[in-house]
Structure formats: structure tokens, C-alpha cells
Amino acid sequence: MIERYSRPEMAGVWSEDHRLRKLLEVEFVYLKVLAEEKQIPSSELEVLERCIHKLSVREVQKLEAQSRHEVLGILEALSQKIQSQAPTLSRYLHYGLTSNDLLDTTLSLQLLQAADILLEGWKEVSAAVVGLAKQHQFTWMVGRTHGIHAEPITFGAKLAGWHAEILRNIERLKSVREVIRYGKFSGAVGTFTQVGPHLEARVCEQLGLLPEPVATQVIPRDRHAEYFNALVLSAGAIERFATEIRHLQKTEVLEVEEPFGEKQKGSSAMPHKRNPVLCENLCGLARMLRSFQAGTMENMVLWHERDISHSSVERVFFPDATILLDFMLHRFLMVLKGLKVHKDRMGKNLNALRGLVFSQKVLLALVDKGLARFKAYELVQKHAMRAWQKDQDFMPQILKDPVVRKVLGVQGVKACFDLKQMQPPIREILKRGGIL
């Protein structure tokens, strides 16, 4: 677990102690159901539950060191604890299970918890984006393609695009939450040697899970891979947004700025610097998550009924990836909440090309009035090039053209440069993006 980038909520999901609690909970629920089904005696369940609560990570680790086997370490520690008080039950510990029944079911429970925390994070981000987008519904700025000024958009419309992607990521996490919501109690190679499928179903139900339809010794790893892919898509979204902010904060652009602490210093050498380091960091973190994807995909291909090559990868990548994404969501939330939006600068930049960003409007107005598209294109391009080269305003330039004047009239030309006329579709975009 990467301490520097950990929030306690998510780190808690992956703590040694929490994991042990979950493993013991799974074992307990399993035995409880066995008792309910009269397969084992029920008299000592209460004692077991009490002992489970007292078992500590340290006790387990001591025995694990000996057996070099995690689950056996737990069972031996537990067995020692209940031996005197619950001698009958002690012999039914883990009855009919293989270690991995505990481990995989517990992993599912942890991944569910992680998904819930991530969903919370996305929802907070969603709310922040909605707020910002409403506020800047008609804050006009230049839209850029290839880094070059294209046509006007509003900052709200840009954020609506972000929000639509956020909603998709929320759906994705909900969807993979269902994909991973499976437990397994089918024993050694998944053949229910000792306890039947119906019993697995009951245990899973009590744990809020579904029974894995067909397992080997493990829950098939395509589930985990699919879950992971959703994390990568979420991280990619944040990276896209963070990259945008980095671009918009560049000295020459400076349309937005990420928050900057009072006492924070941008550089040990240059006192004037306010660097978008939070957003740069978000890009780096996304890079990491994306890297983890490769190993997680390879994990799908286990030999026969299982090998354990995937285990170390999961032990590192699942905590790290969920912790990083959780951190990213909350760091991004912080960026959003403190984001400075320089409307004046947006306006200034929008006008930097002196009206050229309206060239398509003129082009299509000409087409509307009967010019062939390619003629209109050549005509507009000629004037656009001239305005560009002479660094002059485009509107007077195009107004000089006799054809344009004749076809569109002065009012017609002016209408092409009027942002107000472009507002209705912007409202529609915000609606579509879940903002309004």
C-alpha cells in the first residue's frame, strides 16, 4: 500500500486487521450455516464468535510463519483459542473448505467495499462538476482542437462532457460491483466434495454475495480483470480532466488555476511560480494504474485448476489501484472545489484570433444562401488567411468582400459572430450531460 497516496477509508479496507476480520467472518458465517443445516453441532457457535473477536493479527502471523501458509496459520491460531471451550466445533473448523474459499470470498468482500468507497468519491466529484458547470453555463471560451483555436464553446459545456464521462464511470463501477459479487465454498478443486452447492448458496446469501457458478479452486480471474478495467477507465477520465486543467493553466493560456495553498511554494528558485502540481500528480497516478492493468490481465491465465502466480500481483495491485483511484478522486475533488476560473482571460483568449473562430459560421451562412460548399470554403479561407497573416480582425476583412456582402448582408455577417445565438444548443448539451 502506497502510504503517501492513501486515504484512511480505503487503506482500512486493505489493512491486515480488517482482512483478518473478514476472513474470520466468512469462516464463521460458513460454520453457522453448516450448523443451521444440521451438518455440524450448533451449541458452541457463540463461543466461537467470541473467540474470533479476540484473535489478533499478531497471533496469526506467528503461526503463519511456521506453516508458511496464511489460512492454516489463521485456523491453527483459532483452533488453539477455542480448543478448550468449544472442542466439538474446533474439529469442524474449515470443514470441507479449501483455503481459497476463505481467501477469494474475502477478496470479493473487500473489492465490494472498495467499489462502494469509489462510488462515493465519484458522486462527490459529480456534484462538484455539476455545481461548476451550472455556474459557467454561458462562460464562453474558445474550443481547441489540435491545440489550435477552433470554435467557441462554454466552460459549462466542457464540464458537461466531463460529467457525462463521470456518469459512465459510475455505471461502470456499479456494473463491476455486480461482476465481483461472488463467493465460493466449493472446496478443493470446486467440486463440492464435502458440502453441497445449495449450502454454498446459503452462505453466500448471508454474506451478501452470489455463489460462483463454476469455480476451479479459485473464483475465475476474468471477474477480477473486468473489475480492474473499470478502475483504469475511471483513472483515465481523471487523467483527461487533469490534463485539460494543466493545459488551461499554462502561462500563455491561464484560463483556470488549480488551488494553491497560502504557504505553499511553487519552486525553490522562482518565487512567482504557481504550478499545476496536483493535476500533474493525477496524471502520474493514472499512469500507474494503467501500468497495473497488464499484470492483472495476465492473471486470468492460471494453470489447470489454479496456480498461485496471480496472488502476489493481486496482493499489491488491488490495494494499490483502489487506494490510488480513491486518492485521485479526492485530490481531484479538492482541485475542483478550489478551482479558480478566469472568465476574463477566457474571453480574451476567445478573441485572440480576432474572430477567425467564427469562420465556419460564415462559411455555412454562405452555403445556406446558395453558394457551393467548396466555393464558400475557398472564399472564407482566403479572407481568413489574410486576416491571420496581417493580424487583423476577421469581421471587417470578410465584410469587404463584395460577394459576402451581397449574399449575407452586413447583418447576416454580424449574426455569424454573435454568441447569444449559440446559447440554445449549449443548454441542451448541459441537459444531456446531466447538469441541468
Identity of the residue, 303 or 411, whose beta carbon is nearer to its own copies in the bound complex: 303
Identity of the residue, 128 or 245, whose beta carbon is nearer to its own copies in the bound complex: 245
DSSP 141: E
Residues whose CB is less than 8 angstroms from the CB of residue 178 and which lie 6 or more positions away in sequence, other chains included: none
Q: Please report how close the Cβ of residue 49 comes to its own copies at its closest, in angstroms.
A: 19
Q: Please report how close the Cβ of residue 337 comes to its own copies at its closest, in angstroms.
A: 17
Q: Please report how close the Cβ of residue 334 comes to its own copies at its closest, in angstroms.
A: 12
Report how far residue 306's alpha carbon sits from residue 116's, in angstroms, rounded to the nearest whole number. 29
Residues whose CB is less than 8 angstroms from the CB of residue 353 and which lie 6 or more positions away in sequence, other chains included: 142, 149, 388, 394
Identity of the residue, 135 or 193, whose beta carbon is nearer to its own copies in the bound complex: 193
Cell 470578410: give the residue.
Answer: 398
Report how far residue 360's alpha carbon sits from residue 327's, in angstroms, rounded to the nearest whole number. 42
Catalytic residue among 67, 267, 309, 312: 267
Residue 428: CB atoms within 10 A of its CB come to: 13
- Count Cβ atoms within 10 A of the Cβ of residue 183 and give its class: 0-12 exposed, 13-18 middle, 19 or more buried: buried
Report how far residue 270's alpha carbon sits from residue 343's, in angstroms, rounded to the nearest whole number. 26
Strand ranges for 231-377 from DSSP E: 256-257, 340-341
Identity of the residue, 54 or 304, whose beta carbon is nearer to its own copies in the bound complex: 304
| CA–CA distances in Å: residue 105 to residues 108, 310, 428 | 5, 16, 45
Catalytic residue among 84, 146, 272, 304: 146
Q: Please report how close the Cβ of residue 393 comes to its own copies at its closest, in angstroms.
A: 13
Report how far residue 6's alpha carbon sits from residue 170's, in angstroms, rounded to the nearest whole number. 21
Q: Please report how close the Cβ of residue 21 comes to its own copies at its closest, in angstroms.
A: 19
Cell 494504474: give the residue.
Answer: 289
Whether 267 is catalytic is yes
**Of 203, 181, 184, 212, the residue nearest 30 (C-alpha):** 203
Identity of the residue, 233 or 339, whose beta carbon is nearer to its own copies in the bound complex: 233
Q: Which residues are catalytic?
A: 146, 267
